[in-house]
Structure 1
Amino acid sequence: MTIDSADSAARRTVRAYHEARFRGDVTTAAAQIGEGFSFRSPFITSDSPTGHLDGLDGLLGIVTGVELISELYSETEATLLYDVHTTPAVGITQHTAEHFHLRDGRITSITLIFDSAPWQAIMSALTALPTSEVETLSGE
């Protein structure tokens, strides 16, 4: 399969963002964001290049791995499909789709799609736990 230069530029940008985000590197992830950015997910709506990354450390504290299943690219759009694996204490493998719009080699919007029901139950349970038990779940 041949990827033209526009598609490969989109791939470089999206993969740099994706990999940086799951490393916890907010600076590198945000560097892939362009003007007029917007982010939408079941839990967060943000127009800030870094606002959607707030709390990333908490998520990464329970993530044990990310398995990329599929990636599709064009000059102005990209879609990633991946599984997010969490610690055994959390016990979620989250099937996730992420759709990107790009302009001038930068990400201008991200729509993150996943079933939020398992996370709602966990977030409700976590708010009822003492801090020491929350730290135990995240492996701290």
Structure 2
Amino acid sequence: MTLTAQEQTRRAVHGYHEARFRGDVSAAAAHLGEPFRFQSPFIDSDDRTGHLATLPGFVSIVTGVELISELYGESEATLVYDVHTATPAGTQRTAEHFRLDGSKIISIMLVFDASPWQSMKAQIEP
């Protein structure tokens, strides 16, 4: 069975999302392409290695994730979810936009209100 571009996008993004929040860096990396770019209020990385290096620390404070919405196109996707954390920030509503080249994610833009994290900024930045 041949997958449509939208189905490829869904598999890659959903696979990455699940692997990341399981803390499986290798499985998450398998969904990322080259070149790769990651942007968030705290971290800006132009390569997979820099982005993936931050995942274990982040996942260590996550106590749960509730997916609210998934939108998939042929070469882009957007997820909206709540991240429950064991930090003073508590639950963080998050939007994440992905761009893909074929079945690989080439950019991720993470959007959230960074103000609850300001007091913890030094511990978050690599």
SS in 1 for 2:47: coil
Residues in 2 aligned to 1:90 and 1:82: alpha-carbon distance in whole angstroms: 18
Residue of 87, 96, 99 corresponding to 2:97: 99
**How do residues 72-111 of structure 1 correspond to structure 2 at under 5 angstroms?**
72-87=71-86, 90-111=88-109
Q: Choose between structure 1 and 2: higher strand proportion.
A: 2
Higher relative contact order (CA 8 A, sep 6+): 2
The answer to whether the 8 A contact 1:79-1:98 is kept is yes
In structure 1, the gaps of 5 or more residues are 128-140
Residues in 1 aligned to 2:53 and 2:34: alpha-carbon distance in whole angstroms: 19
Residue 135 of structure 1 is matched in structure 2 by none
Residues in 2 aligned to 1:17 and 1:106: alpha-carbon distance in whole angstroms: 10
Q: Percent identity of the aligned residues?
A: 59
The structure with the largest alpha-carbon Rg is: 1
Structure-2-length-normalised TM-score: 0.88
Aligned length: 122
In structure 2, the gaps of 5 or more residues are none
